[in-house]
């Protein structure tokens, strides 16, 4: 799979923006995945697997190199000091090796920042789990890839057959550290290519626009006005969350999990003429309504952040990110599950059709040229007013293995990035594995929240 992926030498403007605003630690973009296996594996076998992974996927041996005197996005360059032992650790689970104790190991790993002088990933192998199981806590920086890309890259570590033979070990990636002069020349060439591309796109748009003005001048003016309005909606600053209950924010997170049947959720979504994501978000929304009701807090709407995929056929094999972060006000006072799923689908569809979604890289390029402190403050006001984030990642519909061990389940945990909650879904066979990351300052009673979410999903499943 990785030999089919394209790994660009530079970050996109959008990825560079994500990288730059991380100077505020509350805006860190870290993806964490917990993979549970049915047995422990020998250390040398896993070391060999991860060594191969870093050779097949060059990004896992690359560090980020920025040039403060250039407006070009940061480069990915192979780390001349790459040391696998820094990224691959072994620990033994304390206590009885329960799922709760496993998540307690994963939480501080996810909360800690990356060493920016090294490649942006870490894998912690946890042994001594209940039932003889083991686990891999895999942590990636979001600048490397998004959820969809991550699933593709993961297939270079895992197997589709329990008896799959060991794959060939490729050569180590070549190391070339640029000198300052070479770095300036490379950045200048990048900017030249980018400006040429912008001119070509602008010329094509202008020629089309002239024809449009001749044919229908009113429509052209209306389209330009709508685009400007769309940009305003996407970048609008909001200074407060809509929940009067989940208002606290910190740098900490607590992990919990929930598993529900995939086929039943699809049936519920079909009852509302919708898709799986409509039922998933509806279950989250009903759970949050129950949670607010339990605390006696009135709340009719919550602000949800959701990644809108812009992964076109041209971007299908790109290893980087291909999504636009959207913020949507979601009604939580609709008791009827079908009516709720219909309303959610309509709101999300509006966000998908925003004209400004096509300008994500251009807008990011403009923002990257502003002082970092100003951009960080802007995004701080945008994302810290988010009540919750949802993300839906399609996983493998078939069993997966690792050197003969069976993957039992895998839970994803997305970054809070200023929100009170991040609830991410990853499908695996006929299970929907849901990872819930909560800020303890916003949700001090995480177990109660989980109980409310279970009740919320039960209401959606009852539709089927």
Active site residues: 142
Q: Which are the contacts of 91, defined by CB distance < 8 A and separation ≥ 6?
A: 105, 124, 125, 126, 127
Q: Which are the contacts of 33, defined by CB distance < 8 A and separation ≥ 6?
A: 136, 137, 138, 139, 140, 150, 410, 411, 412, 413, 426
Q: Which helix or strand (DSSP H or E) is residue 88 part of?
A: strand 88-92
Residue 28 tokens read as: 């860190």
Q: Which are the contacts of 9, defined by CB distance < 8 A and separation ≥ 6?
A: 75, 76
Q: Is the alpha carbon torsion for 37, 41, 44, 49 positive or negative?
A: negative
CA distance 234 to 253: 27
**Cα 105-109-113 angle, rounded to 5 deg:** 165
Q: Is the alpha carbon torsion for 344, 347, 350, 354 positive or negative?
A: negative
Cα 256 to chain centroid distance, Å, stands at 17
Nearest to 407 by CA among 153, 48, 161, 166: 161
Cα 65 to chain centroid distance, Å, stands at 22
């Amino acid at each position: 799979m990785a030999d089919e992926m394209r790994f660009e030498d530079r970050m996109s403007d959008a990825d560079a923006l994500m990288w730059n605003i991380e100077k505020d630690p509350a805006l860190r973009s870290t993806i964490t995945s917990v993979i549970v296996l049915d047995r422990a594996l020998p250390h040398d076998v896993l070391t060999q697997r991860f060594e191969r992974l870093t050779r097949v996927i060059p990004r896992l041996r690359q560090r980020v190199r920025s040039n403060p005197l250039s407006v070009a996005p940061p480069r990915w360059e192979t780390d001349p000091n790459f040391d696998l032992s820094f990224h691959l650790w072994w620990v033994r689970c304390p206590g009885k090796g329960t799922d709760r104790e496993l998540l307690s190991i994963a939480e501080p790993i996810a909360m800690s920042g990356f060493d920016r002088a090294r490649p942006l990933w870490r894998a912690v192998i946890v042994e001594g789990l209940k039932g003889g199981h083991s686990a891999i806590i895999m942590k990636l920086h979001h600048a490397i890839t998004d959820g969809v890309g991550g699933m593709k890259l993961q297939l270079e570590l895992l197997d589709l057959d329990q008896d799959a033979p060991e794959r060939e070990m490729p050569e180590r990636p070549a190391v070339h550290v640029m000198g300052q002069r070479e770095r300036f020349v490379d950045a200048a060439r990048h900017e030249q290519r980018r400006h040429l591309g912008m001119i070509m796109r602008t010329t094509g748009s202008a020629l089309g626009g002239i024809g449009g003005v001749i044919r229908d001048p009113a429509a052209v003016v209306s389209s330009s006005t709508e685009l400007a309005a769309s940009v305003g909606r996407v970048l609008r600053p909001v200074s407060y969350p809509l929940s009067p209950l989940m208002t606290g924010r910190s740098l900490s997170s607590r992990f919990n999990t929930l598993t529900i049947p995939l086929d039943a959720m699809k049936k519920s979504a079909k009852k509302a003429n919708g898709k799986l994501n409509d039922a998933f978000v509806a279950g989250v929304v009903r759970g949050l309504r129950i949670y607010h009701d339990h605390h006696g807090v009135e709340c009719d709407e919550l602000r949800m952040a959701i990644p809108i995929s812009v992964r076109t056929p041209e971007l299908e094999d790109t290893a980087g990110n291909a999504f636009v972060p959207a913020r949507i006000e979601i009604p939580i006072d609709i008791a009827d599950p079908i009516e709720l799923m219909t309303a959610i689908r309509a709101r999300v569809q509006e966000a998908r059709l925003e004209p400004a979604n096509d300008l994500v890289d251009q807008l990011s390029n403009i923002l990257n040229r502003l002082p970092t402190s100003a951009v960080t403050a802007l995004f701080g006001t945008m994302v810290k007013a988010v009540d919750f984030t949802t993300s839906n990642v399609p996983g493998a519909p078939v069993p997966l293995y690792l050197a003969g061990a069976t993957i039992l389940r895998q839970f994803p945990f997305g970054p809070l990035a200023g929100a009170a909650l991040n609830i991410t879904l990853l499908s695996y066979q006929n299970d929907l594995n849901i990872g819930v990351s909560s800020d303890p300052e916003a949700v001090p009673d995480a177990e109660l929240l989980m109980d409310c979410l279970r009740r919320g999903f039960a209401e959606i499943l009852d539709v089927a």
